[in-house]
Each structure stands twice: as C-alpha cells, then as structure tokens.
Structure 1
Amino acid sequence: MSSTPIEAVIFDMDGIIIDTEPAWQQAEVAVMNQFGVPINLVDAEVTTGLRIDAVVNYWYQRHPWPNYDNQHVAQQIIDKVVAFIENEGEPMRGVVEALKLCQQKQLKIGLATSSSSDLIEAVMKKLGIKNYFMAIESAENLQYGKPHPEVYLNCANALGISPANCLAIEDSFNGLIAARAASMQTVAIPAAELAQQSRWQIGHHQLEHLGLLTEVLG
C-alpha cells in the first residue's frame, strides 16, 4: 500500500462499472465490417479504453474506406452500445459494494471515462447509481482521450483532491497508462482472460473484481 493517503476513488466506466466491453467490441466489429474493415473480436481488443473517435480513426488508418465520416461511424457504434445497455446492461461484480465502501470511508467518488455523455446517462439510469458520484468527467470533448491523462486530472480537480491522493480503477491498459500519467495510485481489474498478462504490472494493485476493493482500501 502506498504511504500517500487515498482521499478519492475514481472509477472508469466501461468494464469497471458496467459490463459493456463485449458490447463495444461486437458493435465495433459489426460496424467496421459494414465498411469493409476485416476485423474480428480479438482484433477489437487492441482499441479497448480508447475514445470512440480514436477507435474509428485507428481502423481507418489501417483499412481506409471511401466517404470517411468519423462522427457518423462513431455514432453508429455508440447507438448499438446504448441499445445494449438499455436492454441488457448489468453492473460488474462488486460495483455497489465498492461504492458503499468508499462512502463508508468518507472518500470522494468520481468517474473518468472515454465514453460520451449519452452513454454515461444510459449507464447511470440503468444501474441507478448516479447519486454516488461527486464528479463525472468524460473525455468526449477533450483534445485527447485516454491514454492521455487529462480526463483523470479533470476529475481530480472537480473533486478538489490532488491526483496523488486519488485511486483510479481501470480495466484497460490504455486507461491504466492515463491514470499513471496523472500520477494517481491505480488498481487494474482486467478481464479474466487477460489477467495473466505481464503488462498489468504497471498498476499498483491488481484485483479480480471490485468486491475485493477492501484489500486496497483496508
């Protein structure tokens, strides 16, 4: 445990609060395939944690298609994920317990996500957890999304807490890089099939699910 006291916990959303990563990947593959981009679900893993415009640009750079309109393509993917959230969205294991634990310890709670405001709203409404968060920051309108640290720095600023006193919880490598770059303490909770990868060692802690957050917060 770091000697720097934790005063705030900042959660990523997709893959941490709600189980949307498979939906993102399925939507990404379906829409990209429509535009002739020959990718599958495994290929889509590389873009996990990136902002949606960066995802679309990533594939366009590798497999250009005619009449490129990033915003139009991105919105098609977002619409599919919003529909998934509204119909099938489920909280990740231990979410409510973790939020309550932070409240009990009188820690400030924030959200720092690459996802757009319509997705954030869909998740908060579906899970009924908006009241837990004192600051909700999206990278959608920033110059750079994750792995750039700006969304995390903005969230710490909105909470009035120094980044060094914030604990960021991430499931993606891009998100973990962003939190580390913001000088935050970090917890990685990668998908089970990726958990053995050595790259997660850049995080300060690695947990199997949010229900184990007591191991970090005590």
Structure 2
Amino acid sequence: MLEAAVFDMDGLMIDSQPYWQTAQLEILSTLGVPITRQDTLQTTGMRVDEIVQLCYDTSPWDSVSREEVCQAIVDRVIELVNQHKPAMPGLEHAIEVFRKRGVRLAIASSSPLSLITATIEALKLDGVFEVKMSGAELPYAKPHPAVYLNVCNALGVQPTRAVALEDSFIGLLAAKSAQMKTIVIPESTVANDQRFLIADRQLNSLQEISDQLLESL
C-alpha cells in the first residue's frame, strides 16, 4: 500500500523547462558561451550548478563567478514562474486523487529551495506538500538517490512504500535507485525513449493518475 507520493517539480508539476532554457540562453550567451536551445534540452534534469560548470569547462569566462551565474539563472526562472504560473495539466487532479487516498505528499527537486517556495506560492499550493526538499546543496545530484531517500526519511516512510513522479530519465534513475515505485510523464518529444521502460508506469499526463492505476503499483 502506498503511503507517500513524491513529486519532482520542473517539467512535472510546472512547465518550467522553457523558462530554464530561456534563462540559460539569455545569461550564458552574454558571457560568450555558444549555447543553443538544443544544448539546453540535452541537460534536462541536471542541476543548474552542473550545467553552468559544464558550460564553463568548454567556454570559460572571468567576468563573474559561477555562483553568480547560477543565481542569475535561478532568479530569472523565478521571475518567469511568478509571471506565468505554468501548472502542468492534471496537477490539481493528481493531488486530489492522492489526498483522497490518504497518501502523504512531498516534493523532491534538483532546483534550489527558493524556486520550490516560489512555485508553491505561485500555484497557491501552500500546505499541500508535507515535505519540500531541494537537492541543490547535496554532494550528489540526481541520478543519485540522495534527495529521494532524504524525503522518505523526513516523512518516516520506507521508499518501497512511496511512489516518485518524474518527467526526466535522470530523475527516474534516482527514484529507481531509491527503490521507490515510479511513474514517469516525459515531455512528448522524448516520450518514445526506450529508457523510460524501466518505470513502473509511463503516462501522457498527470490527468491519468487514478485509483485503479495506484492500486496496480
């Protein structure tokens, strides 16, 4: 029986991937990094500090610190999230299905806590998620399972009695490594990636979350 559902945030709860892409393009291009939108797609699911480090390794700059670049990107994403409030289709439905079943809710995101907090406020979801945990400051990012294990520990729930909802393969690997049940809802352009077959269920939308599906996990 499921005791907890742990949501990824970017690309799963909110359609923020275009904002991350825009922020990276706007800020990194000013530093002389030859980055394209396709490049940003290749780093989906990675932490912003890892992305910035990757760009620095290939096209180093000396005008500002990497930490300042990371913060500028995060600040721009927060600005866009507050402006557009981009909840993914079916988010409210999925939350309601879980809550009616008495399943506890949490967030495990690679994004900084500042963005998690801003998202919760923008979508008016205060009080919905019992635990909200960022992996931004952890030694190892997804696909390492640390952030998921930390959330389960904070909830006092065994990982095997929790389900993780993810949109990226990196996040899916993290949840599987934590021995959690997994539901993946990838972006349509990558939905046919055979690697997603390791998920317990693959859906097209959060709208497809149902009692029957959860009972089958």
Asked if TM exceeds 0.5, the reply is: yes
1:16-165 alignment runs, 5 A limit = 16-67=12-63, 69-165=65-161
Aligned twin of 1:217: 214
- CA displacement at 1:150 relative to structure 2: 0.6
Cα deviations across residues 107-163 of structure 1 (Å, max 9, x unaligned)? 111100011111111101110112111111111221122111111001011111101
Given that 2:113 and 2:133 are in contact with CA atoms closer than 8 Å, whether structure 1 keeps it comes out as no
Q: Which amino acid is the alignment partner of residue 99 of structure 1? A: I
- CA displacement at 1:193 relative to structure 2: 1.2
| SS of residue matched to 2:149 | helix
Mapped partners of 1:160, 1:149: distance in 2: 16
Deviates further, 115-124 or 57-66: 57-66
- With normalisation by structure 1, the TM-score equals 0.94
Q: Which amino acid is the alignment partner of residue 53 of structure 1? A: D
Given that 1:32 and 1:39 are in contact with CA atoms closer than 8 Å, whether structure 2 keeps it comes out as yes
- CA displacement at 1:170 relative to structure 2: 0.5
Mapped partners of 1:68, 1:216: distance in 2: 49
Mapped partners of 1:184, 1:60: distance in 2: 35
**Which of the numbers 11, 14, 27 marks the counterpart of 2:10?**
14
Q: Which amino acid is the alignment partner of residue 145 of structure 1? A: A
Cα deviations across residues 182-201 of structure 1 (Å, max 9, x unaligned)? 11111111111111111211
**Which of the numbers 155, 162, 166 marks the counterpart of 1:170?**
166
- With normalisation by structure 2, the TM-score equals 0.94
Mapped partners of 1:130, 1:115: distance in 2: 18
* Count of aligned pairs between the two proteins: 214
Given that 2:105 and 2:128 are in contact with CA atoms closer than 8 Å, whether structure 1 keeps it comes out as yes
Mapped partners of 2:133, 2:2: distance in 1: 19
Moved over 4 A (4+): none
Q: Which amino acid is the alignment partner of residue 217 of structure 1? A: L
Identity level (%): 37
| 5+ long unaligned stretches in structure 1 | none
| SS of residue matched to 1:96 | helix
Given that 1:20 and 1:89 are in contact with CA atoms closer than 8 Å, whether structure 2 keeps it comes out as no
State the superposition RMSD in angstroms.
Answer: 1.3
- CA displacement at 1:68 relative to structure 2: 5.9
